[in-house]
Structure 1
Amino acid sequence: MSILVTGGTGALGFHILATVTRNGEKLYSFSDEQPQPWQKVADVTYCTGDLLNFKDVLAVMKEVQPRAIFHLASQSSVGLSYKKPYETLSTNLLGTQTLLEAARQVVPEAKILLLSSSEVYGRTMGTLLTTLRKESDLPNPLTPYATSKACMELLGNQFTNAYGMHIVTIRPFYFTGPHHSRRFLIPAIASQLVKIQKYGAEPIIYSGSLDVSRDVLDVRDVARGLIQVLQAGNPGDVYNICSGKSYTFRELTEMLVDISGADVEFRFDPSKERTLDIPLLIGDPEKIMELGWKPMITIEDCLVDLYNEMIVRLKMEKDLKMG
């Protein structure tokens, strides 16, 4: 038996593969591309294929025979979902259908975790912005990405109810930290700061609005939480993973600037602005804390580790280009 992580080349997949207890089991990642050097975890078998191709997924399922599946693979950018709504819905919904059907045929007893998003909560009339969002709140998605994740949750319910499969769903709030993709705001800014400090780039940071507030966690705490929920969560249940506290992206960015020691100018880039963004989103962590999880890494330490890992990542990229 083994453990399978789809989307294992992402930051969350990296830290799950690096953290999960093996008990002599083999670890497998399934993604659409091989990992870069900074995405690799030792003693993990990296498989590639198309999540939308049932033959690809079925073949991996038969080879791996997982007892546990962390389904993280998705189109995970809210901004990109506006530009590619069909691709987002296809990957996040039909890709999950492909995975669950392959698991049903090959390993129906496997424990499966589906990665949803706090974005499914959206904005609800009559609800205060400062309200801690609970798992019992009805989804009210605003974006193509959030809609795809809300649909994915319903699909997970179908497989649980119809086939008795052990499926749990996690709704993570915003997270960042080492190995986080530069498609997202905070690691993108960390990358710009490293280029300014280490490679003489223009000392200007381009971004959209920094006055959006989010419940923020370190990606390593989120990885621990997913492992805990898969082990101890009730099948069919949904769990927030959050802290109950919020930071503005401006606060996070200012912390990063202090960490880097750079003297920079901020400029607004309208191309990075999201017109339907939720101004404040905070979660209630009570349910997952009842399983024994709590955040352990401070946001300050998270950003220091992200910045230092970004230095290593950019050096690796430079070395690869130089051959």
Structure 2
Amino acid sequence: MQRALVTGGNGFVGKYLVRYLQSSGSQVAVLSSSEGHEENNNATFYLADIRDRGKVQSAIQEFKPDHIYHLAAISAVGNSWQSPRLTYEVNVFGTLNVFEAAMNLPSPPKIVNISTAQVYARSSALLSETSPVCPENPYAASKLMSEFLNVQFHRHAEGGIVTARSFNHMGPGQSTDFVLSSIAKQFVEMELGERQRRLSVGNIHVRRDFTDVRDVVAAYSLLMGKGRPNEIYNVCSGRALSIAAIIQEFERISGLRVEIDTHPEKRRIGEFAEVCGDPAKIQAAIGWKAVIPLVTSLQDLLVYWRSALRQSSGQDVPARALHPAL
């Protein structure tokens, strides 16, 4: 049985990854700076901020993982502008703490380090792993810095670090800080009569490459098994859609027609017009590709918010999600 440690295992993606690994037979531990690990109650839990070198080292030495999935990070662009120093402390020095503790074990584990597509320079072309990088916000800069930490571990005969550059992902349980979850929640509020049929959004003309979180965690697991250390892999669908087109799909699924209210404060600083990844390398290397259709992801987002909002108001909960991994 493989022993897998997930840093940031209480986060949106982390919870899905923990369940995925457990269903695959791994013994899982979660290292998180926040409690509330009831959903991961079959996992060993370590309460630790990755900035705390001693606690990170203690947890890793105690659990002795074969694999580490490093997800813990300040991941919201807006937060990174508000707290740039904290972003660098967590995403760079915290990552170094994880890497050093892992690589100093007698038998170092393999690590999948989660980075971001935001490290790439602006481009209307498909972004491959060799595309130019040019981060334009503190979050992206910190993640690119964390990628370069690999250099001091290149010579390790065991273990090694694989980098996953993840593009936009979505799924049930995601915070409304992220656009598709925010849109889905607003549609359900309209269904329940809690708001007028006016959708509050930012720039609906940007185009993004979205992948369902359940496909994303499958990619991370396959990268752990088959990804080559010191290599970078895009985790993406290879298809970009505008937010406007996705709103139209929400309208079709829900049967509601909405008016659009665009708000300047919902626009991100320096927002790219289009971001789309090239998944050729990851498909060739490990045989992974995104398989959950967009319509299923959007339907499951609506199901999630119907359940959450109706439970909060004491109403009956509707049928479960379409995809069995929810």
TM-score, normalised with respect to structure 1: 0.89
Distance in 2 separating the partners of 1:42 and 1:305: 24
Matched, 1:49 2:48: yes
Give a deviation string over 1:221-247, Cα, whole Å, max 9, x none.
111111101110111000011122110
Q: RCO greater where, 1 or 2, for CA within 8 Å and sep 6 or more? A: 1
Give a deviation string over 1:164-187, Cα, whole Å, max 9, x none.
641100001111112222221111
Q: 1:56 to 1:203 in 2, by over 3 A?
A: farther
Tell me the equivalent position of 2:252.
258
Within 5 A, what are the aligned runs for 1:269-288? 269-288=263-282
Give a deviation string over 1:71-129, Cα, whole Å, max 9, x none.
01111112222222212122111110111111122365201000001110022xxxx51
Give a deviation string over 1:254-276, Cα, whole Å, max 9, x none.
22233333443321222111131
Matched, 1:225 2:224: no
Contact 2:21 2:28 in 1 (8 A): no
Contact 1:113 1:167 in 2 (8 A): yes
Distance in 2 separating the partners of 1:133 and 1:263: 34
Name which of structure 1's ranges 183-192 and 248-257 shifts more when overlaid on structure 2.
248-257
Matched, 1:208 2:213: no
Tell me the equivalent position of 1:176.
170
Number of equivalent positions: 312
Note the C-alpha offset of 1:45: 3.0
Aligned residue for 1:169, secondary structure, equals strand
Q: 1:304 to 1:57 in 2, by over 3 A?
A: same
Distance in 1 separating the partners of 2:312 and 2:29: 25
Note the C-alpha offset of 1:160: 2.8
Report the AA paired with residue 183 of structure 1.
Answer: D
Tell me the equivalent position of 2:318.
none
Q: 1:134 to 1:161 in 2, by over 3 A?
A: farther
Report the AA paired with residue 222 of structure 2.
Answer: Q
Report the AA paired with residue 115 of structure 1.
Answer: I
Aligned residue for 1:274, secondary structure, equals coil
Tell me the equivalent position of 2:324.
none
Aligned residue for 1:175, secondary structure, equals strand
Gapped regions of structure 1 (runs ≥ 5): none
Tell me the equivalent position of 1:61.
60
Note the C-alpha offset of 1:22: 6.2
Give the alignment partner of residue 301 of structure 2, picking from 290, 296, 306.
306
RMSD: 2.2
Contact 2:109 2:158 in 1 (8 A): no
Matched, 1:140 2:134: yes
Contact 1:10 1:179 in 2 (8 A): no
Distance in 2 separating the partners of 1:271 and 1:145: 19
Q: 1:81 to 1:23 in 2, by over 3 A?
A: closer
Note the C-alpha offset of 1:21: 5.7
Contact 1:205 1:266 in 2 (8 A): yes
Gapped regions of structure 2 (runs ≥ 5): 315-326
Contact 2:22 2:28 in 1 (8 A): no
Give a deviation string over 1:36-80, Cα, whole Å, max 9, x none.
76xx14522333221101122122112221111100111111222
Tell me the equivalent position of 1:8.
9
TM-score, normalised with respect to structure 2: 0.88
Aligned residue for 1:30, secondary structure, equals strand
Contact 2:116 2:166 in 1 (8 A): yes
Contact 1:174 1:217 in 2 (8 A): yes
Distance in 1 separating the partners of 2:163 and 2:303: 32
Aligned residue for 2:161, secondary structure, equals strand
Tell me the equivalent position of 1:29.
30
Tell me the equivalent position of 2:74.
75
Aligned residue for 1:201, secondary structure, equals coil
Name which of structure 1's ranges 220-229 and 152-161 shifts more when overlaid on structure 2.
152-161
Contact 1:256 1:303 in 2 (8 A): yes
Give the alignment partner of residue 148 of structure 2, picking from 151, 154, 170.
154
Aligned residue for 2:104, secondary structure, equals helix
Aligned residue for 2:50, secondary structure, equals coil
Tell me the equivalent position of 1:244.
238
Distance in 2 separating the partners of 1:114 and 1:148: 13
Aligned residue for 1:116, secondary structure, equals strand
